[in-house]
Amino acid sequence: MKNSIAERVADFLQKHPPFLSLSMPDLIAISKECQVVYLEKNQVLFNVNDQPHSFFYIVKDGAVGLSISYDEKEILIDKCDEGDIIGLRPFFAKDNYLMDAMAREESLLYAIPIAVFKTYVFQNPEVSEFLLESFASNTRNPYDKENKGKLISENVVYNEQDAIIQYFKPISHTENPITANRKVTVKSIAEMMVKYKIGSVVIEENQLPIGIITDKDLRSKIATGMFAINDTADQIMSTPVITVPANRSVAEVQLLMMQHNIGHLCVTSDGTATSEIIGIISEHDVFTAQANNPGVLVKQTKRANTAVELQGIRENLTQLIQNALYENIPVGHICQIVGEINTAITKRAIELSILKMKEQPPVPFAWLNIGSQGRKEQLLLTDQDNALVFEDVAAERYDEVKKYFIELAENVTNVLNVVGYEFCPAEMMASNPLWCKSVTEWKEQYGTWIHSPGEKGILMCSIFFDYDFVYGDKTLVDAITEAIFKNIDNNQIFFAYLGGDAMKSPPPLGFFRQFLVEKDGEYKDSFDVKGRGLMPLIDAARLLCLNQKITGTNNTLVRFKELAALEPQNAAIYEACSEAFSVLQKFRTEEGFASNSSGRYLDLNKLSKLDKVKLKNAFQPIHEVQEILKTRFQLTYFT
């Protein structure tokens, strides 16, 4: 007896990808398991943070909107109508929905069980390719070039580049996995898992994988009494082992895990079970790869409710930076992404701190990141530098208002300290009354530094002249910026002092092109890549941009780019400075991760000959840009 309802559903499905790649018998089989979902106008299908449904949906009639909430406003991201797919997230991700889905008009949807449809995904390459490309590119139909939708994954992306490469980037694997032979007891296997804090042990023979035991096996086979704790590994191991070569993409790994209903893949030298074991990939690795997407980190930051949650996000950001360096993504691009996420973390720390105060700020204020944070060059977890400016108030209110903002700043800096940004040893923080001031006080402070640029003033210029607005009322910051440029206009003494300071660190090579290293102290014989390499470029870029009245640009790479556009005659030098800064920043960041330090000091003995050549080549632009400073600011006397 024919099932007319199933046939009608199948007739509809076959008109739309990816179902058009399936045969009619397959479509009818799928349709028999479908459910029809009716939504009234404004009825919710799912909300952000809801647990994933066991179905995904295709719109038959009507329209469903996908939206997010930002700053207490609903932002419509996409409108899905006939033939569009919604809710595929459970196919690829373990976390909850990242968007709200609500009917924009009376709508009819077909709910397709994910468990049923998975079988057809694995059997049909065209279907699996469609779903992977859709999820990776965040379009509900990657083949529709004229009417591309968005966000089949309900996943707001950070930018187009990240959207395209996210799920096709190689996934990292754990190297040198723990292995055992087939006659080791299950008890020994369990002890290995506890000792090394791992979820699997590969069973090998002649360095070839013949089986795998996971914590799931221990629960299902040992804890249930099916096998004894002293039985041997070959009695409970899962075999054959599903193997892959290195550098498989996140999407491919996810698909294999779903296809075989497993949580671990063994990485071998050629991807087969007849070659040497070189690594292991777990579901946790997949989850980490997903969590390290910049867009995901930004969204998680906005939803975080505690300092500890923000700490976890910053840890994922560290992993993102390390992966980006490994994949040779340009340092400028890394700085841009990391700077925005760091800013989002600081902004959320402020929002949480205001909630903790239980009182709204008494007057408008603005939070500033200064120094390397202000330049968006803080790739490592170095100390925090920040400041706060509040609106001018009557004298009788001043003490009360300042007391509020100092307490707020203390809360914010405490949150940031939990996140991993240590307190500044020199107390260059908004919690210090010296750096929590009214607009007028900040104008006077900058005026003092500019018109009396002694040694201390110049030191402050190198930190406080690199500021970035983070939160609050930007007009307060604009007023300070306007006052600064008014004070430095034609101020030759100020530029001469600032120029002299920028010349304190000449190119760090001796007469015979040997590296100039530290002569004594804790870092004797080490090379100071920050002080001798990065700071001369940072100082030069700042000075030249102040002189050219370039506003709104703090990042050193961007500053040199703008200078190159303004001064074509010096463009080659500025472009070389930008490249040199990228090279030096990468050296410092990699050293910081390798030694769990600020990365400031390099052990030259650990560098390859090629790395030493790269370092030396980065020093020539320092000499050239300092020659520009000498000429432009008549620095012969100061140097």
Distances (CA, A) of 446 to 100, 192, 211, 478, 479: 47, 61, 68, 14, 12
Average pLDDT over residues 388-393: 96
- Assess whether pLDDT exceeds 60 at residue 68: yes
Q: How many domains does the chain have?
A: 4
The most confident of 96-105, 181-190, 504-513, by mean pLDDT: 181-190
Of residues 485, 622, 483, 627, the one with CA closest to residue 547: 485
Average pLDDT over residues 61-65: 89
Q: Which amino acid is at 88?
A: L
| Segment 396-436, tens digit of pLDDT | 999 999 999 999 999 999 999 999 999 999 899 999 999 99
- Assess whether pLDDT exceeds 90 at residue 114: no
Q: Is 638 a member of any domain?
A: no
Distances (CA, A) of 386 to 409, 421, 598: 9, 11, 18
Q: Is 495 a member of any domain?
A: no
Distances (CA, A) of 344 to 69, 127, 471: 15, 37, 10
Average pLDDT over residues 260-265: 85
- Assess whether pLDDT exceeds 50 at residue 139: no
Binning pLDDT at 50, 70 and 90, where does residue 587 land?
Answer: very high
Task: Give the Cα separation of 626 and 409 in Å (integer).
Answer: 38
- Count of all residues that appear for the chain in the document: 639
* Tokens found for residue 479: 């007023």
Residues 300 and 410 in one domain: yes
Residues 347 and 484 in one domain: yes
Residues 436 and 413 in one domain: yes
The domain of 598 spans 500-633
Residue at which a domain ends, from 440, 458, 489: 489
Interacting residues of 491 by C-beta distance below 8 A, sequence separation 6+: 450, 451
**Residue 91: its pLDDT value, please?**
67
Residues 466 and 507 in one domain: no
Q: Is 396 a member of any domain?
A: yes
Burial (CB count within 10 angstroms: exposed 0-12, middle 13-18, buried 19+), residue 626: buried
**Residue 146: its pLDDT value, please?**
41
Distances (CA, A) of 417 to 67, 307, 345, 384, 471: 33, 9, 12, 8, 18
CB atoms within 10 A of CB 281: 25
42-56, 69-83, 485-499, 548-562: segment of lowest average pLDDT: 69-83
* Torsion 337-343-348-351 (CA) sign: negative
Average pLDDT over residues 612-617: 88
Residues 428 and 561 in one domain: no
Binning pLDDT at 50, 70 and 90, where does residue 254 land?
Answer: confident
Task: Give the Cα separation of 529 and 170 in Å (integer).
Answer: 31
**Residue 639: its pLDDT value, please?**
43
- Assess whether pLDDT exceeds 50 at residue 183: yes
371-375, 482-486, 521-525: segment of lowest average pLDDT: 521-525
Q: What percent of the chain has pLDDT over 90?
A: 45
Residues 85 and 39 in one domain: yes
- Assess whether pLDDT exceeds 70 at residue 69: no
* Tokens found for residue 464: 């406080």
Residues 148 and 17 in one domain: yes
Average pLDDT over residues 354-361: 92
